[in-house]
Chains A and B, each alone.
Chain A
């Protein structure tokens, strides 16, 4: 038997006896022979651990090593204290099920409660759910939530400056769910307030929600002052998509009067891991609590009066409400909420502020070095950014990316078009990294 299967031949024989069967195949007597596999799977034989390691090493060796990452676009190469992974690797957390049995799941429930508290504080919102899959699905769920909470309204306005990766998911969910999406055009890299006002003036009675980002896909910090009042005057909800770690220093959705804050919390120390797992956050005002999708943890007391935590408000959810549920989601990103809770506990508000300041300073230095020879320039020079910006280059972006990756193990950013690149800095890059990249850029033609 395979090493994961404890059965001895004697076990199997005695167990079959109790089952009144002669062979394992007898247990499948109800599966028509025409449906049965006729031969073993066309897959390799089982491997020992050395072989598995070599298999993965071989695959990893086919990647080009990227040691320095200036790519962002919603996902950032922030560092993470070693203690986070150590704690998240504890099998009591890692191998636990969804905490339906609160008596033996206080560990999971407690860290989700901590997570909900920290996310509410970070976004300035009243409540948070226990997380969504990622920032894109969190934003899509926020759109469905807006429609569900606004009777007879089925239109959502989405800014052109939202990340296209998020937008694709929003559009897909909306299309199948029968929600109409209209794009709010942008002007000089920002959501156009004039265009939004015009859309609200013409379609305002149908608008359930308005989705705007900050910082937006181009890294620009948008000024959403007064936006909540504008949306609310048409009884539309304001949904702000944001980058979690930025909220330590930028004006929060709560301060701006937003109804829903959503986005990805990958920036809170979650490894890039080629796309996941990440963590979507969804926070709102208390009045939207019962329209919230996903798991929510609440505090209560047990029969002996001790403080404890349970999954609550489950009457919203699919296992109770089936097709009338607020969402089909039946999980959260449990372990990733632990990850960011431990991260935020260790880093703290002061650490997050330092990380943001360091990231911004490095971004400014990067901009200076990349534009020093006059062959590259900011796409939107008059707009404020935190740690990410859009750069226009005289040389092909492909040439820069190829040279930087192959010669210096640096990923310089995300190609937007042949002569535009999106670049971000974090606390993980050094002055030398920037200098090396700038030297390579000088050689690009």
Chain B
């Protein structure tokens, strides 16, 4: 990463008369059209002039390339970012995602001409079923949060199908849950009931029991939880929720450490989502596009959203299928509805399938354990200097409650910012909300021991510096392209476009 800020905006490079594009010629001239067709009335055309940059191609390319050098990515360095699973994004996946014969395919291409694309969708869907222990997946949701919303819609539809749609409106969510869980429940028209964590960070079953009655629609859990701790009592929790008539929802944000170890479906979960951009290595792209497939146990698959990809053995008229009609797209009246116009982020799905094929059963069996090994190794190497609030086994991530020595006044935010100076992305901070100084670290399985050792050394250096030179830590970062942006002014006086930016 370039430590000098580039900082220009494309609008500032614009010069009247420059252009970066040649429009293709159709070979059709106005004289070739003789039919009388209603012209576009002038009341329907744009009146204001459109101001877009006027720039040539070399200038554009150099501008964005320079801009990119002020960015940190997985290919730049290590992301110890808890709950985000920033693993390596393999290059072959990119090549497969932009395969020429898929890139040009219109979403309304009839099934007979898109059998390969539909088979790709089906194949990934089935692989996720095997990994999640589910009956069927939809790949339509565009992101983890939309997967949660979709999963909750499945649950509401299920209860409605049993005449309990209005009665069952509560969703039980641990206080340690990701913020999207309660937000998704609210968007889905459900009421959030919080269940407390025990001191060891797991769900308090004693606190859960009184919450369970015939108004409960579901319980949402991530396992391991956001502290990286496996919910040992998950079979009991599932049984209790099921006894009360509720369904179990698995937030797949933390699925990675369970690869090769255990499956949500075998723990009693009825509905789950996975984040292809976490567990299945698709790039985060600075915030998206992601993909949040939703899986369900047998009996719930009919509620999954439209459109659906189905694999047939006979055609609707009863003939055996062939290579042109094995896969079809269907809309079912009992489905929950639609959460997308199309079959989702197809190019992201293609990347995830390439990843699963590349790892294969053997590679997937190794991934989760190595992720846990890497996290535990960091934890054990730093817990003499950083406060570990919960001892014992943890999985792919863990949480420190800041430095052990609080006398220096150095906060988790200071540590996170100082890590930027050392060439690392910051960990997830101040989440979960269970501790004041949460510092959540998740290394993933694609980091080498050398990387981890260097990171550990940096963390130890910061702890030492906090005592010897706390001011340097508190005023970090010092070596980044910009330092300590003024968030307050940004929010109080929002400047959201170039046109509102004072020169």
Contacts and interface: CB of A to CB of B under 8 A. Distances in A.
Contact of B105 (A15, A274, A302): A274
A81 B44 contact: no
A333 B43 CA distance: 34
A252 interface: yes
B182 A322 contact: yes
B284 A118 contact: no
Interface string B69-108: 1111111100101001010111010111011111111111
Contacts of A255: 46-48
A107 B69 CA distance: 7
Interface stretch (A84-92, A193-201, A205-213, A227-235): A84-92
Contacts of B81: 97
Contact of A321 (B183, B266, B346): B183
Given A15-B373, A35-B262, A96-B72, A364 B64 contact: no
B494 A221 contact: no
Given A36-B262, A117-B499, A168-B306, A333 B114 contact: no
A96 B482 contact: no
A151 interface: no
Contact of A137 (B72, B234, B340): B340
Interface string A64-86: 11110101011101010101011
Contact of B107 (A86, A275, A362): A275
B245 interface: no
A303 interface: yes
A318 B73 contact: no
A180 interface: no
B39 interface: yes
B483 A59 contact: no
Nearest to B373: A15
A261 interface: no
B32 A365 contact: yes
B490 A312 contact: yes
Given A274-B114, A318-B145, A362-B26, A306 B79 contact: no
Interface string A237-274: 00000000001111110110000000000000001111
B153 A172 contact: yes
Interface stretch (B295-303, B374-382, B461-469): B374-382
B334 interface: no
A147 to B, nearest CB: 12
Interface string A324-347: 110111111111101001101111
Contacts of B206: none
B457 interface: no
A103 B290 contact: no
Contacts of B343: 274-276
A312 B487 contact: yes
B161 interface: no
Nearest to B142: A133
A87 B179 contact: no
Interface in A327-377: 327-336, 338, 341-342, 344-355, 358, 361-362, 364-365, 367-368, 371
Given A27-B373, A36-B261, A83 B232 contact: no
B60 A221 contact: no
B337 A349 contact: no
A27 B393 contact: yes
A304 B61 contact: no
Give the one of A55, A101, A223, A252 with max B CB within 10 A.
A101
B30 A361 contact: yes
Interface residues of A, number: 218
A368 B35 CA distance: 6
A41 B348 CA distance: 22
Contact of B101 (A63, A324, A348, A381): A63
A45 B361 contact: yes
A104 B425 contact: yes
B283 interface: yes
A396 interface: no
Given A15-B373, A92-B68, A304 B483 contact: yes
Contacts of A7: 370, 373, 445, 448-449
Contacts of B113: 63-64, 66, 405, 411
Given A24-B369, A171-B337, A104 B71 contact: yes
B76 A277 contact: no
Contacts of B127: 43
Contact of A42 (B60, B356, B361): B361
B71 A81 contact: no
Contacts of A29: 393
Contacts of A431: 26-28, 32
Contact of B483 (A15, A111, A302): A302
B235 A35 contact: yes
Contacts of B10: 114, 341, 345
28 contacts: A34-B235, A43-B131, A43-B356, A55-B357, A60-B116, A75-B107, A93-B71, A93-B286, A94-B94, A102-B485, A105-B72, A113-B497, A137-B339, A165-B341, A176-B187, A247-B46, A275-B342, A276-B344, A289-B496, A301-B485, A308-B482, A323-B192, A328-B145, A328-B148, A329-B143, A345-B20, A346-B21, A368-B33
Nearest to A49: B92
A29 B230 CA distance: 10
